[in-house]
Amino acid sequence: MKQNIYILIFLFGIVLIPRLSFAQNDDLGDNDDKFQELFYEALKQKGIENYDRSAEALLACIEIDKSVPVLYFELGKNYMQLKNFGAAEDALKEAVSKDPNNEWYLDELYGYYASQNDYKNAIKTVKQLVKYHPDYEEDLASLYLKSERFDEALEVLDQMDAKHGVSVSRDLMRNRIYKITGRKKDQIKNLQDRVDNNPQKESNYLALIFRYSENNEKEKAFATAKELLKMNPESQLVHLALYKFYLDENDAENAIESMKIVVKSTEIKPEAKLKVLTDFVQFVSDNPEYEQDLVEATTLVSNTNNSKTLIELGQYHLSKNDKTKALEYFETALQLEPDNFNVLRTVMLLYIDLKQYKLAQEKSSAALEEYPSQPLFYLVNGVALNELNTPKKALESLEMGLDFIIDDTKMEADFYKQLSKAYTLLNNTQKAKTFNDKAQKLESSN
């Protein structure tokens, strides 16, 4: 009997299974029918995950005809499911030996070796598969990496880059090899070659700048960044590196110009902009004569929807004692991050500082519904209520909040001051004095 035709079988998710037919002879008897009946029974049992019964049917087929490769292929897959790995390998190797050019058989055998971390045999099998699909080349490089055959891995990656161009996945593998082996010079050489071979590609320069910087070769990184800017004057990403180099060179004018380009760029991610803006704030703190440039930069990001950037801007204006401007940024940040406790706290304290007592009362009352054990919010609420001339409500909030203070004498003293103020508003001078004395006693003990 010989396998002489193939059809697609869509049965229980099985595809590309060779159908068996047999050479005609004068008397078929029951052999052909029995063989095919057993084979399709094997497929059926496999489809319902009865792998042991499927294997039994396939073994019965093999007793009838040992020459059919697909029997061993299906048998190997069943043994894999049954975790009978030795038998699985033997069956799959037999299938390949009978049909050495069958990609499906080779791929299954490769999958078996990979699952067993048998890199030596996996490499041998993948080398046979490469002629069918170039994708297997990357598998080969990965196997060389896992086997610590780094030179061979890099050779395959170089060949693939030459044929198909660079890719993120291959670069990740390449950089991992460079890191493991400490071949920083080889890594730089590879990136330099990319720049030389494709000087119009921005990403090649950026990768080289990054590696130079990582290796603390700042002068080379700076030179490469300038080269990129010369090649592509419209580049925005290069300014993520340039501004820092200009700052190190005390070239304030160019540093600020690069910062502004970064801040208003549509290509640069908010997280990177935040880092630049943070450096900008620090730079202006040390060089206040450039504050107007920072104001211009903050105007460029005034419509940002990145809460971290807004918080950073708020902190800057706080450091300049511009509480009104700071509040604007913190309120916008709070709209983006309503559960940010620190921002909520800052906003309420700013309401008090700016004498916006109605807002402080409303915001603290709402906060207490979500944070009923936070004494600060009771204090803010009490302060606002006192200032709004509703001392009875202030007393209720303050007395409740006192119970939640833990090891914070300063806050406790603030509570006593507000309690004293509430009783003063109620003309209860005796209690007002009692709480004022408590506050002074705590303050004097610090």
pLDDT in tens, 133-171: 888 999 999 999 999 999 999 999 999 998 888 888 999
State how far the Cα of 144 lies from the Cα of 155, in Å rounded to an integer. 10
Residue 282: the pLDDT is 79
Residue 300: the pLDDT is 67
The domain 355-445 is placed in CATH, from the list 3.40.50.300, 3.90.870.10, 1.25.40.10, 3.40.50.1360, at 1.25.40.10
CA distances from 434 to 359, 413, 427, 439 (A): 30, 12, 13, 9
Q: What backbone torsions phi and psi does residue 428 show, to the nearest 5 degrees? A: -100, 80
Residue 309: the pLDDT is 72
Residue 304: the pLDDT is 59
State how far the Cα of 145 lies from the Cα of 362, in Å rounded to an integer. 62
pTM: 0.62
State how far the Cα of 351 lies from the Cα of 208, in Å rounded to an integer. 49
Average pLDDT, the chain: 86
State how far the Cα of 137 lies from the Cα of 139, in Å rounded to an integer. 5
Mean pLDDT of 342-354: 95
| Three-state DSSP state, 228 | helix
Residue 413: the pLDDT is 93
6 pLDDT band (50/70/90 cuts)? very low
Return the number of other C-beta atoms located less than 10 Å from residue 438's C-beta.
Answer: 17
Reduced DSSP (H G I as helix, E B as strand, rest coil) percent helix, strand, coil of the chain, to 5: 75, 0, 25
34 pLDDT band (50/70/90 cuts)? confident
In the numeric block, the tokens 């409500």 are attached to 393
For residue 45, how many C-alpha atoms fall within 13 Å in the half-sphere facing its CB?
20
| Three-state DSSP state, 11 | strand
Core vs surface per residue 87-108: b (16+ CB within 10 A) or e: bbbebbbbbbebbeebebbbbb
State how far the Cα of 366 lies from the Cα of 347, in Å rounded to an integer. 13
State how far the Cα of 178 lies from the Cα of 60, in Å rounded to an integer. 53
For residue 342, pLDDT over 70 is answered with yes
Task: Tell which residue, 137, 143, 176, has the closest CA to residue 157.
Answer: 137
Within 50-200, residue ranges assigned H as helices are 51-64, 69-81, 85-98, 103-115, 119-129, 135-146, 150-164, 168-181, 184-197
Q: What's CA 172's distance to the chain center, in Å?
A: 15
Measured distance between the N- and C-terminal CA atoms of the chain, rounded to whole angstroms: 100
Q: Are 101 and 117 in contact (CB under 8 A)?
A: no
